[in-house]
Amino acid sequence: MISMLPTQVWPDDLAARYRAAGYWRNETFGAWLHERAVTHPDRLAVVGGAQRWTYATLDQRASSLAAGFLQAGLVRGDRVLIHLPNIPDFIAVVMGLFRAGLIPVYALPAHRITEIEHFARGSDARAYIAADHHAGFDYRALATELRQRCPTIQRVWVHGDAGPFSSLETLAATDGSAVPPNISQGSDVAFLQISGGSTGLSKLIPRTHDDYIYSLRESARICGLGPDTVFLGALPIAHNFPMSSPGFLGTLYAGGRVVLSLAPDPESAFALIEREHVTVTSLVPPLLLQWLDLAADTAYDLHSLRTIQVGGAKLSAEIARRVRPMLGATLQQVFGMAEGLVNYTRLDDPEDTIIHTQGRPISPDDEILILDDDGQAVTPGQAGHLLTRGPYTIRAYHNNPSANARSFTADGYYRTGDVVRMTPDGYLEVQGRAGDHINRAGEKISAEEIEDYLLSHPQVFDAAVVSIPDEYLGERSCAFIIPKGARPRTIELKTWIRGRGIADFKIPDQIVFVDQFATTAALKLSRKALRAELRTRLLDQGADQTPPSSLPQ
Ligand code: AMP
Ligand code: DBH
């Protein structure tokens, strides 16, 4: 099979403009980390577990890993799946891959074999790097299964006890002194990020050094990051938000320190905030709620916190209001997407803007369209579909013509699927989604993907998955099932779905059995209209009360 090298190309005139404006500087990840290690080698870069790495240590480890990857036979442009929790080696591995011109593909720790196989096939990956275990799950078993399903995966490295696989620690002992800091161009694709997926499984998002570094640099500036910044990575750092908005990459770019927590819960995080004098972190709304709860009577000293960023899902004004009094920090709302566009409330915005809006774009060259259902611009101030293009928003997914045809207009705008309105001063307020995904505490779940798993069960005649408002999670998932013959038990269905080998957060929170979906008047409903009707029916019946679900780790 011919392997398809990921690309991301903007039209010449726009690319020229982004360069002329100084957005794209032909900077690369390999090079900038090395520059910082030369200017401030002894400054702490990454703290996690018992490890405390200076910039020099991180830089050397990245070079060693780069040398190891190349000696193991990987060649420039090869894709490497990363399946690591929040450990310092996540950062060293990624930086090592950049340095070797290899292309990381980021999976979330919650992903399981079905998603990993999908990423491996979609990216034509040649290697897989995982932890031995995390949060009660053994990734080596997954690696074994992956090797069987995807023979293109030729190398597996494991952090910790490698079992039958190669040890990442041994690889990190390779002599990296001959590896140049950089072999890439700014316009090369640096990595493949994954989309939350609104139809079917996640799509792969190729981001270039030029475009991503621009978004990091500006994000770091907007968020006031500098050498005294201590960023806490509490959410899984494979997520685009804690990775780049400004996240751990923006923090290192600005010369600050990254502190990693293996779990996002307030107990783990507060201890680190006190110990490391954390100044900024990024959270999803349900986590913020947990933090606010515990902050009320915590013994930990949280005074170092200056900024709490919240994004990934809509934050209610009611909760937004509590951040400053309870945590003593400025709230920053962040509305972004792995495809590109990121909006921030600015730190010096009026309190009202910070509480009620999801911010405004990073770049003066972020082009924003808000359109009605017929594709016409809405009257200013009205809600409509958000489309965007700009210097760090992709023009195409990797190797996916049908998704590209759906998701991009002929003139290169990305259809975000979000419904927003714009305030007179150019801030966006997210109203909801036009599509059928469920935003469960910031994790996006495709209704279609889960319906497909349900439909493969022998006792399921038909299935429709919808989002239900949830006080704690924002939204939770509810599966409506028309049984085939004997009605299966709820627990059986959930176990069945888990058995498909998918992330736990995708298992429906609630299952409702029905005899039929649509009323006879509405037999010809589209899938989308059907989901809408089922949702309304459930809410009207007041049957939406289930015990609060827990957040995935
Ligand atoms: P993804 O494309 O998977 O990176 O997910 C991005 C999506 O998350 C956006 O298109 C929004 O639907 C949602 N999102 C991100 N941040 C926010 C926010 N602050 N408020 C509401 N929705 C958000
Ligand atoms: O939800 C997201 O994907 C997201 C949220 C905030 C994101 O990608 C980002 C900031 O960069």
pLDDT, tens only, 299-324: 999 999 999 999 999 999 999 999 99
Instruction: Give the per-residue pLDDT at 550.
Output: 55
Identify the residue whose C-alpha is closest to ligand 1 atom 3.
196
Ligand 1, closest atom to CA 196? 3
Q: Which of 108, 222, 243, 337 to mutate to test the pocket of ligand 2 (most atoms within 8 A of CB)?
A: 337
Please determine, for residue 192, whether its predicted confidence score (pLDDT) is greater than 90: yes
Instruction: Give the per-residue pLDDT at 552.
Output: 47
Buried b vs exposed e over 129-167: b needs ≥16 C-beta within 10 Å?
bbbbbbeebebbebbbebbeebebbebbbbbbebeebbb
Please determine, for residue 547, whether its predicted confidence score (pLDDT) is greater than 50: no
No. of H helices and E strands in the chain?
19, 27
Which of the ligands is closest to the CA of residue 429? Answer: 1
Q: Using 50, 70 and 90 to split pLDDT, how confident is the model at 535?
A: confident
Instruction: Give the per-residue pLDDT at 519.
Output: 59
The rounded Å distance from CA 472 to ligand 1 centre is 17
Q: Are 362 and 218 in contact (CB under 8 A)?
A: yes
Instruction: Give the per-residue pLDDT at 199.
Output: 67
Identify the residue whose C-alpha is closest to ligand 1 atom 20.
314
The rounded Å distance from CA 248 to ligand 2 centre is 14
State pLDDT tens for residues 151-164: 999 999 999 999 99
The rounded Å distance from CA 313 to ligand 1 centre is 6
Instruction: Give the per-residue pLDDT at 435.
Output: 73
Instruction: Give the per-residue pLDDT at 534.
Output: 83
User: CA–CA separation, 326 vs 314, rounded Å?
Assistant: 20
Q: Select from 267, 261, 247, 252 the least CA-distant residue to 311.
A: 247
Instruction: Give the per-residue pLDDT at 533.
Output: 81
Instruction: Give the per-residue pLDDT at 436.
Output: 77
Q: Are 437 and 419 in contact (CB under 8 A)?
A: no
Q: Which of 240, 331, 437, 444 to mutate to test the pocket of ligand 2 (most atoms within 8 A of CB)?
A: 240
The rounded Å distance from CA 487 to ligand 1 centre is 36
Q: Kindly give the pairing relationship between strand 307-311 and strand 330-337.
A: parallel
The rounded Å distance from CA 74 to ligand 1 centre is 34
Instruction: Give the per-residue pLDDT at 1.
Output: 44
What whole-number percentage of the chain has pLDDT above 90? 88
The rounded Å distance from CA 310 to ligand 1 centre is 11
Please determine, for residue 510, whether its predicted confidence score (pLDDT) is greater than 50: yes
Residue found under tokens 């703290």: 47
Q: Which of 239, 343, 392 to mutate to test the pocket of ligand 2 (most atoms within 8 A of CB)?
A: 239
Ligand 2, closest atom to CA 337? 8
Tokens of 332: 């920053």
The rounded Å distance from CA 96 to ligand 1 centre is 29
Please determine, for residue 115, whether its predicted confidence score (pLDDT) is greater than 70: yes
Strand, coil or helix: what is 33?
Answer: helix
Identify the residue whose C-alpha is closest to ligand 2 atom 1.
312
Helix axes 88-99, 29-39, angle to 10 degrees: 120
For the chain, the maximum distance between any two Cα atoms, rounded to a whole number of angstroms, is: 72
Q: Which of 335, 342, 407, 467 to mutate to test the pocket of ligand 1 (most atoms within 8 A of CB)?
A: 335
User: CA–CA separation, 436 vs 418, rounded Å?
Assistant: 11
CA 538 to chain centre: 30
Residue found under tokens 């992903």: 111
Instruction: Give the per-residue pLDDT at 3.
Output: 58
Q: Which of 439, 449, 473 to mutate to test the pocket of ligand 1 (most atoms within 8 A of CB)?
A: 439
User: CA–CA separation, 98 vs 101, rounded Å?
Assistant: 5
Q: Using 50, 70 and 90 to split pLDDT, how confident is the model at 193?
A: very high
**What integer is the mean pLDDT of 139-158?**
98
State pLDDT tens for residues 213-239: 999 999 999 999 999 999 999 999 999
Q: Using 50, 70 and 90 to split pLDDT, how confident is the model at 527?
A: confident
Q: Using 50, 70 and 90 to split pLDDT, how confident is the model at 380?
A: very high
The rounded Å distance from CA 181 to ligand 1 centre is 34
Instruction: Give the per-residue pLDDT at 551.
Output: 55
Domains for the chain: give ranges and CATH numbers: 29-184 (3.40.50.980), 448-541 (3.30.300.30)
Most confidently modeled range among 144-148, 293-297, 466-470: 144-148
- Please, where are the H alpha helices in 100-175? 113-123, 139-149, 168-171
Instruction: Give the per-residue pLDDT at 197.
Output: 64
For every residue of 314-380, DSSP letters joined together read PPPHHHHTTHHHHHSSEEEEEEEETTEEEEE--TTS-HHHHHH---EES-TT-EEEEE-TTSPBPPT
Which of the ligands is closest to the CA of residue 358? Answer: 1
Ligand 2, closest atom to CA 444? 1
Q: Which protein residues touch ligand 2 with a CB less than 6 Å away?
A: 240-241, 244-245, 311-312, 334, 336-338, 342, 442
Identify the residue whose C-alpha is closest to ligand 2 atom 3.
337
**What integer is the mean pLDDT of 334-340?**
98
Ligand 1, closest atom to CA 240? 4
State pLDDT tens for residues 281-299: 999 999 999 999 999 999 9
Please determine, for residue 332, whether its predicted confidence score (pLDDT) is greater than 80: yes
Instruction: Give the per-residue pLDDT at 194.
Output: 95
Q: Are 79 and 125 in contact (CB under 8 A)?
A: yes
The rounded Å distance from CA 244 to ligand 2 centre is 9
Please determine, for residue 523, whether its predicted confidence score (pLDDT) is greater than 60: no
